[in-house]
Structure 1
């Protein structure tokens, strides 16, 4: 980034913004974080209702080492601030035929479980699949996930050849089917394609790296709920010298030519040398006054209806995370991504965080989070239609859960919150989805919206809409990549002013001038 970069304003205190802030602080920049909400977290927010502490966003934490990189930038460790609990099993999969499978991330435990469930041939196939997923992750981690692409030409080289040799340019479902015969097992290793917004039959096999994160690397839960992660990141950033402005929506950016010179909030003008923008792309582009041209309009991922239910009981067949599959599969993806219909035979994610941390609910009570994928508002019911549709859909969802073993759930609910695409739309998410742009081939790698916008030389984007994509690990990496745009990949960017040392940390901060809408609503990707 040309010119001075001593003082950086980060717009939005979600996971991307907090990651960027920590990496910038570690590189000696002075950082001001501006957040329209009253707390950090963005999508990973917190709702308190009737003694229930509800995570409003992600419920699955994988690859905590990526979060730890952000803490390490300021000389801290993630586990010194957050108690991480590894989940065993990572998931419980329940199928329409009444069978169930515990998904273990340990190789021996999972092989034994698959042999019990589907026989020795699929157990051996799992070993081969696990090896392939590990090879795929190692091929992608440094060169594709943790990298910017300023041109498709950057794809060319030995890394792409290696990825192609691994089958990463084929189709996700086909690669999994090479190893597993049982259709139920194939679902366990391909349902993650929903996060990418593409059916497994059409998704690039390279995205099976998400299955590696979910089924091999381990699934974790922070004590205190997922919101404990952004809270800890904000605390670490503040301890390293960051200034936070909460309850400050950004109204505009002041510019001189191609440079942003100040961030304007209601009642404050914050001078800056550079800015990191983490709101959804339409908001970021509006603030910049520039929208990049694309050959085709962005296609967005499916959305979701989230039911947060605080209950006076629970059901013993539920693990911390339970995947409840309907009988339909390919038809479900067709409804979600093509025809825009609500799932007639839904597959659901049910999370019971109180299975791991009972303190998230009043004594003797239990918290449940039910995620039902649904079409986004570009192809399905419009935001205005959800006003009338929401109560009917909520009732049908409870009837479905009752029929799948959660008998009496409707009468067990004491506190609840329903989040629909109308709520996502009201929060400014395009197409009423918190999962942003789908990971189609035309929206992957160098073809995904870049984190730089032509015509502005000192602004960088971060978040799920830009590089590398959707999900907690990619969003954390997006903040790291945004910081590297400013500081250089090794943190040695241009500094035109003296730097001051943070006591006890040995870090230097810029002493130049100084600050951002970042929050998004309740409920998001599991």
Structure 2
């Protein structure tokens, strides 16, 4: 009888999971583990879930100040299904028939559509028959890249190089984009004769924190993630974080907000406790760290966690951003939910950023949050404006950087005829230094490790670390940056815990 009771106690103890951070990766891990019967506690330094999926209060309501749209919906359908739920019962998703609206200084505009043929027709009207054919070729090429990398790279718990090589052998047309040194910008020069289309599709490197002039050509597949569907979330993207939190709570997960973690304590070579900044300690058999891997390698969670990952897992750093979040009355071009205002020359945007400076000729992304479902109601609307920036690791500081950014941003938009009343003050701006403070050890880099190397994607850390019982999730982990990728990382971490818990050695 005593032996049986001890066995039940040991089984109960092995269930204890502490998730550090309530970003999308941590939330998805918490949902999976809680509904698998684990004893899950999520600890978050902020007062609400979401991580980089943050919101700023305004006179028009909460403004998204992080990710703005949902792609790869099937990833989230799977998260909810694994918990016995349906995504549509928890969130209202608004499909976007126009993926994005684009403007150039020469007065030209282009809408990209969710319907593939409508998209090709729009490109043809915009740039002519030759560009129509080139786009159709590009569409097919990026679809082949996506198919080759989806299952063995994005969906797999760790990159399966053999499967990627086999996919490449079956699809030799993708070989040119796999050549070492073939950058996305160089590949697009081969594929498009119109420089505006090269500029447009080159910006997809920034979705994972890189410059098209330094990132590998394979990142062209990022376009496919958007081409396969874009959804806005009714009420804003932060509603996704709230829905995941509610789903985790339904499975029994507990949440502790407003308290930071300052150490992970090992015993006998594996995690044993999580020490909080308020002096309390949480016993843990498994820990999921949903933060920038650089925080571990910098020693911010203790010496044992510092050696859990190699330095190459977090260095060098990706791009940062200057982000405006505000409410105002717009005047000028008819925006939709997803808008891009291009500069004249991308070579005056990315090389200065790579040198640590503010871009001379920036491209500006604008999310018009209240236009997801069509024409908004009269009154102030909510906007997020993003301009790419270097991380603080390379940023050359300058006096009055915030005011310089304000002038550059709104003078550029004014040249397109777009103005805001009132024009936001610098208090509505988050700078790279602000992101560096919000996300410890990140240096303001919003996408973790830089993608700007041929094998950079293989350097991102997978879920298991060198410290037994410590797992990682989030945009800095495999398979990469972006909301669906962070969700997949959470799934990988949860599945690794469930597998390791089932092994007799653990």
TM-score, with normalisation over the residues of structure 1? Answer: 0.85
Alignment partners' CA distance in 1, 2:280 and 2:455: 37
Alignment partners' CA distance in 2, 1:377 and 1:239: 40
Per-residue deviation, 1:67: 1.6
Query: 1:188 aligns to what?
Result: 200
Show structure 1 runs of 5+ residues with no match.
Answer: 498-526
CA deviation map 1:470-499 (0-9, x unaligned)? 1112111111111122113xx9834999xx
User: Which residue of 8, 16, 19 corresponds with 2:25?
Assistant: 16
Per-residue deviation, 1:162: 4.5
Is 2:213 the counterpart of 1:226? no
Show structure 2 runs of 5+ residues with no match.
Answer: 1-10
Alignment partners' CA distance in 2, 1:474 and 1:6: 26
Alignment partners' CA distance in 1, 2:91 and 2:504: 33
Relative contact order higher in (CA < 8 Å, ≥ 6 apart) = 1
Query: 1:275 aligns to what?
Result: 287
Alignment partners' CA distance in 2, 1:358 and 1:182: 31
Alignment of 1:107-506 (within 5 A): 107-149=116-158, 157-159=165-167, 161-162=169-170, 165-167=173-175, 168-170=177-179, 171=182, 172-214=184-226, 216-265=227-276, 266-285=278-297, 286=299, 287-289=301-303, 290-291=306-307, 292-294=309-311, 298-337=315-354, 339-356=355-372, 364-382=379-397, 385=398, 388-407=400-419, 409=420, 411-413=422-424, 417-427=428-438, 428-441=440-453, 444-454=456-466, 456-488=467-499, 493-494=502-503
Contact 2:314 2:449 in 1 (8 A): no
SS of 1:90's equivalent in the other structure is strand
Alignment partners' CA distance in 2, 1:429 and 1:418: 21
Alignment partners' CA distance in 2, 1:12 and 1:243: 13
SS of 1:67's equivalent in the other structure is helix
Contact 1:6 1:495 in 2 (8 A): no
Per-residue deviation, 1:16: 0.6
Alignment partners' CA distance in 1, 2:314 and 2:50: 29
Give 1 or 2: higher helix fraction: 2
SS of 1:306's equivalent in the other structure is strand
Per-residue deviation, 1:75: 0.7
Q: CA RMSD in A?
A: 2.8
Alignment partners' CA distance in 1, 2:314 and 2:422: 45
Query: 1:515 aligns to what?
Result: none
- Structure-2 change in CA distance of 1:315 and 1:228 (3 Å): farther
TM-score, with normalisation over the residues of structure 2? Answer: 0.88
Per-residue deviation, 1:109: 1.0
Alignment partners' CA distance in 1, 2:91 and 2:161: 41
Alignment partners' CA distance in 2, 1:162 and 1:189: 26
Per-residue deviation, 1:431: 2.5
SS of 1:125's equivalent in the other structure is helix
SS of 1:189's equivalent in the other structure is helix
Alignment partners' CA distance in 1, 2:14 and 2:188: 46
Contact 2:406 2:426 in 1 (8 A): no
Per-residue deviation, 1:108: 1.6
- Structure-2 change in CA distance of 1:354 and 1:120 (3 Å): same
Query: 1:510 aligns to what?
Result: none
- Structure-2 change in CA distance of 1:221 and 1:343 (3 Å): same
Query: 1:40 aligns to what?
Result: 49
Query: 1:505 aligns to what?
Result: none
Alignment partners' CA distance in 2, 1:406 and 1:341: 25
What is the aligned residue count? 484
Contact 2:21 2:291 in 1 (8 A): yes
Contact 1:322 1:349 in 2 (8 A): yes
